[in-house]
Structure 1
Amino acid sequence: MQLDRRDRLILKLLQADSRISNSELAEKVGMSQSALWRKVRALEQAGAIEGYRAVVSAPALGLHFQALVQVHLTRHNPEHLQQFISAVESRPEVLDCYATTGQSDYILRVLCQDIGAYNTFLEDFLFRLPAVESAQTNVVLREIKRSRDLPV
């Protein structure tokens, strides 16, 4: 799908407030409500809009410990690699997982209640995976910038 100026404005406005009413969005974009509804539906069907959600506060849930974990694999055995990926995908503490170049094979963003919960995550989960050789933890002291919006 080729995005035009209006598509990008719709996406920007929906990223800022996904609960905006159809009539308010139509007014801000300069379209009729029915034309806007069709445009948003087309963006959804094309995959430009993947979904809608609430942004929940981690501290409100008692999740105060965040770390970036650089994971080094023993070797790239396809079976162990798939086991690692499946295991990581199944863990709710792992918010993000990136395959990377450089010194580590993967970088995980992990969110837990506290250091004790993180230690349990390491010992009872991560270090038990056959593909994992080592992991280096970088504890997040504070967030300086965390954007949820894509540059539209």
Structure 2
Amino acid sequence: MEKSGVITRNSATVDARAVQMGITSIVEVMLTDERLQTVDNAKALFRAAPEVQQCYYVTGGVSFMLVIVSQDMTTYEETTRRLFAQNDSVASYRSLIALDRVKTGNDILIP
């Protein structure tokens, strides 16, 4: 399946608390516009940020949905300043802090 491209990569799931990443945040990001250059720049920025564990370019009034992990709230604030508050292409963002990681991973079960 790897040779045919069905399996694109193998990965490990790490306990975020074990590596001192106790804060998980789901973030809605609204860009100032959806022009190609604006979207491509945002994709590159989010892809390069190690705190961003997952990034989805979405429809429905929100531009991106991100999953971000941080050590603590101080570190999370620094991340939001760097990625969103100091970014002229970001119109607004909303953070949802996870209380519990009920189910994680991107397992696809094939019946």
TM-score by length of 2: 0.89
Cα distance change of structure 1 residues 52 and 76 upon mapping to structure 2, 3 Å threshold = closer
The one-letter code matched in structure 2 to 1:52 is N
1:75-126: per-residue Cα shift (whole Å, max 9, x none)?
1232222111100000011011111122311110001111111100011232
The 3-state SS of whatever aligns with 2:40 is: helix
The answer to whether the 8 Å contact 2:30/2:64 transfers is: yes
Moved over 4 A (4+): none
Greater helix fraction, Structure 1 or Structure 2: 1
Distance 1:151 1:51 in 2: 16
Please tell me whether residue 118 in structure 1 is matched to residue 76 in structure 2: yes
Other-structure match for 1:96: 54
Q: For residue 127 of structure 1, report the CA deviation from its aligned partner.
A: 2.0
Q: Which ranges of structure 1 fall in alignment gaps of 5 or more residues? A: 1-42
1:18-52: per-residue Cα shift (whole Å, max 9, x none)?
xxxxxxxxxxxxxxxxxxxxxxxxx1110122233
The one-letter code matched in structure 2 to 1:115 is M
Written as runs of structure 1 = structure 2, the 5 A alignment for 1:36-47 is 43-47=1-5
The one-letter code matched in structure 2 to 1:79 is Q
Distance 2:9 2:35 in 1: 35
Identity level (%): 25
Greater Rg by CA: 1
Distance 1:61 1:74 in 2: 35
Q: For residue 133 of structure 1, report the CA deviation from its aligned partner.
A: 0.4
Which of structures 1 and 2 has the larger relative contact order (alpha carbons within 8 angstroms, sep 6+)? 2
Distance 1:67 1:90 in 2: 17
**What root-mean-square deviation, in Å, do the aligned CA atoms of Structure 1 and Structure 2 show?**
1.4
Distance 1:125 1:151 in 2: 34
Please tell me whether residue 61 in structure 1 is matched to residue 25 in structure 2: no
Count of aligned positions: 110
Cα distance change of structure 1 residues 99 and 44 upon mapping to structure 2, 3 Å threshold = same
Distance 1:93 1:147 in 2: 16
The answer to whether the 8 Å contact 2:23/2:98 transfers is: yes
TM-score by length of 1: 0.67
The equivalent position to 1:80 in structure 2, one of 31, 38, 45, is 38
Q: For residue 143 of structure 1, report the CA deviation from its aligned partner.
A: 1.8
